[in-house]
Amino acid sequence: MKSKLIASIPALVLIFALTCGFGTFHVMLQKAEASNCNSLQQQCSDAQENESIACASGHAERCESAKDNAEQVCGKYYNNCP
Protein backbone atom coordinates (compact mmCIF):
# COMPACT_ATOMS: atom_id res chain seq x y z
CA MET A 1 0.00 0.00 0.00
CA LYS A 2 2.78 2.40 0.97
CA SER A 3 4.74 1.59 -2.19
CA LYS A 4 1.66 2.26 -4.36
CA LEU A 5 1.22 5.61 -2.69
CA ILE A 6 4.88 6.51 -3.23
CA ALA A 7 4.67 5.33 -6.85
CA SER A 8 1.66 7.56 -7.49
CA ILE A 9 3.37 10.73 -6.25
CA PRO A 10 5.22 11.46 -9.54
CA ALA A 11 1.97 11.04 -11.45
CA LEU A 12 0.17 13.43 -9.11
CA VAL A 13 2.99 15.94 -9.38
CA LEU A 14 2.86 15.69 -13.17
CA ILE A 15 -0.91 16.17 -13.25
CA PHE A 16 -0.63 19.16 -10.92
CA ALA A 17 2.18 20.70 -12.98
CA LEU A 18 0.31 20.24 -16.24
CA THR A 19 -2.89 21.66 -14.81
CA CYS A 20 -1.26 24.69 -13.23
CA GLY A 21 1.07 25.21 -16.16
CA PHE A 22 -1.78 25.12 -18.65
CA GLY A 23 -3.81 27.49 -16.50
CA THR A 24 -0.95 29.97 -16.36
CA PHE A 25 -0.38 29.69 -20.10
CA HIS A 26 -4.10 30.20 -20.75
CA VAL A 27 -4.17 33.37 -18.60
CA MET A 28 -1.09 34.73 -20.37
CA LEU A 29 -2.69 34.00 -23.74
CA GLN A 30 -5.88 35.80 -22.70
CA LYS A 31 -3.89 38.86 -21.60
CA ALA A 32 -2.01 38.94 -24.90
CA GLU A 33 -5.28 38.59 -26.79
CA ALA A 34 -6.87 41.42 -24.80
CA SER A 35 -3.86 43.64 -25.49
CA ASN A 36 -4.08 42.83 -29.20
CA CYS A 37 -7.82 43.59 -29.19
CA ASN A 38 -7.18 46.94 -27.52
CA SER A 39 -4.68 47.76 -30.25
CA LEU A 40 -7.06 46.64 -33.01
CA GLN A 41 -9.88 48.66 -31.45
CA GLN A 42 -7.70 51.78 -31.42
CA GLN A 43 -6.64 51.20 -35.04
CA CYS A 44 -10.29 50.78 -36.04
CA SER A 45 -11.26 53.97 -34.25
CA ASP A 46 -8.41 55.87 -35.93
CA ALA A 47 -9.36 54.48 -39.34
CA GLN A 48 -12.99 55.52 -38.85
CA GLU A 49 -11.90 59.00 -37.84
CA ASN A 50 -9.65 59.24 -40.91
CA GLU A 51 -12.56 58.07 -43.06
CA SER A 52 -14.81 60.76 -41.60
CA ILE A 53 -12.22 63.48 -42.24
CA ALA A 54 -11.43 62.25 -45.76
CA CYS A 55 -15.07 62.04 -46.78
CA ALA A 56 -15.87 65.45 -45.27
CA SER A 57 -13.13 66.98 -47.42
CA GLY A 58 -15.11 66.16 -50.55
CA HIS A 59 -12.23 64.33 -52.22
CA ALA A 60 -13.86 61.18 -53.62
CA GLU A 61 -10.68 59.12 -54.07
CA ARG A 62 -9.45 59.84 -50.55
CA CYS A 63 -12.88 59.05 -49.17
CA GLU A 64 -13.05 55.68 -50.96
CA SER A 65 -9.51 54.80 -49.92
CA ALA A 66 -10.25 55.71 -46.31
CA LYS A 67 -13.49 53.67 -46.39
CA ASP A 68 -11.63 50.64 -47.73
CA ASN A 69 -8.95 51.02 -45.06
CA ALA A 70 -11.53 51.37 -42.28
CA GLU A 71 -13.39 48.27 -43.52
CA GLN A 72 -10.17 46.26 -43.56
CA VAL A 73 -8.87 47.42 -40.18
CA CYS A 74 -12.23 47.23 -38.41
CA GLY A 75 -12.90 43.85 -40.02
CA LYS A 76 -9.81 42.47 -38.27
CA TYR A 77 -11.10 43.83 -34.97
CA TYR A 78 -14.67 42.54 -35.43
CA ASN A 79 -13.50 39.09 -36.61
CA ASN A 80 -10.87 38.52 -33.92
CA CYS A 81 -12.19 40.21 -30.80
CA PRO A 82 -15.26 39.60 -28.65
Q: Would you state the pLDDT for residue 69?
A: 98
Q: What's this model's pTM, rounded to 2 decimal places?
A: 0.59
CB atoms closer than 10 angstroms to residue 77: 19
DSSP line for the chain: -HHHHHHHHHHHHHHHHHHHHHHHHHHHHHHHHHHHHHHHHHHHHHHHHHHHHHHHTT-HHHHHHHHHHHHHHHHHHHHH--
Q: Are 43 and 77 in contact (CB under 8 A)?
A: yes
Identify the residue with better confidence: 71 or 1.
71
How do the domains of the chain map onto residue ranges?
2-27+35-80
Confidence band, pLDDT 50/70/90 cuts, at residue 12:
low
Identify the residue with better confidence: 56 or 13.
56
